[in-house]
Structure 1
Amino acid sequence: MIKAIGFIALGFILMEFSGWFIHKYLMHGPLWMIHKTHHQPSKSFFELNDLFSLLFGSVAIVLIFLGIEELDYRFWMGVGISLYGILYFFLHDVLVHRRLKWFDRPKNSFLKGIFRAHQAHHRTNQKDDAVSFGLFVVPKEYFKEKKK
């Protein structure tokens, strides 16, 4: 059981750091033509950028499928990636971008920091001017309350 929890955590953590790398160097690099749809106003519920979610979800499904018979590390890492994807959906798509209006703006200081960091990321719709590429791991400055 401890190994399973460890591999779930490893899958989750690897997803955050590989997601940061992919976001910064690929999405804001050679894959900008797909990702820029996320930085532009849209009247559609879906955007071309959603293909990245399908890709990451596919990796999780393949790992789960490959490891389900033995319930080995692949299964549990796939579960960790899936958990990351579920939280990503709620934080990024529901809470930050309000693609589904289930919740109000965050009041929790951790969620406010994530919200501010993502707002800073979207201050530009240009490929090269963006900041803050992670979802959970963001610079400390975004967690500081602004003085009124």
Structure 2
Amino acid sequence: MMKAIGFILIGFGLMELSGWAIHKYLMHGPLWMIHKTHHQPSKFAFELNDLFSLLFGSIAVVLILLGVEELDYRFWIGIGISLYGMLYFILHDVLIHRRIKWFQKPKNAFLRGIFKAHQAHHRTNKKDDAVSFGLFLVPREYFKEEEK
């Protein structure tokens, strides 16, 4: 059981780290033509940028299918990636971008920090001027409370 939890955490952690690097160096680099749809206003439920979620989800499904018979590390890493994807959807698409209006603005300090970091990321719709590329790993400055 501890091995399973460890591999789930590895899958989750690898998604945050690789997601940060992919976002910064590929999405805001050679894959900008796809990602820029996320930085522009849209009237549609889906944007071209959603292809990245399909890619990451497909990797999770393949790992789960490869490891399901033995319930080995591939299965549990795939579960970790899937958990990351579910939290990403809830935090990023629902809470931050309100693509589905389930929640109000966050009141929790941690969620507010994530929210502020993502708002800072979207202050520009240009490829090169963005900041804060992670979902959970964001600079501490976004967790500081404003003076009232």
Please give the alpha-carbon distance, in whole angstroms, between the structure 1 residues aligned to 2:20 and 2:101.
26
Compute the TM-score of the two structures, normalised by the length of structure 1. 1.00
The one-letter amino acid paired with 1:54 is L
The one-letter amino acid paired with 2:99 is R
Deviation at 1:77, TM superposition (A): 0.1
The 3-state SS of whatever aligns with 1:102 is coil
CA RMSD after TM alignment: 0.3
1:47 matched residue in structure 2: 47
1:95 matched residue in structure 2: 95
Structure 1 stretches of 4+ with a deviation exceeding 2 A read: none
The 3-state SS of whatever aligns with 1:120 is helix
Deviation at 1:22, TM superposition (A): 0.2
Q: Percent identity?
A: 81
User: Which runs of 5 or more residues in structure 2 are unaligned?
Assistant: none
The 3-state SS of whatever aligns with 1:132 is coil
User: Which runs of 5 or more residues in structure 1 are unaligned?
Assistant: none
CA deviation map 1:62-104 (0-9, x unaligned): 0000000000000000000000000000000000000000000
1:72 matched residue in structure 2: 72
Matched, 1:145 2:139: no
The one-letter amino acid paired with 1:22 is I
Query: How many aligned positions are there?
Result: 148
2:104 matched residue in structure 1: 104
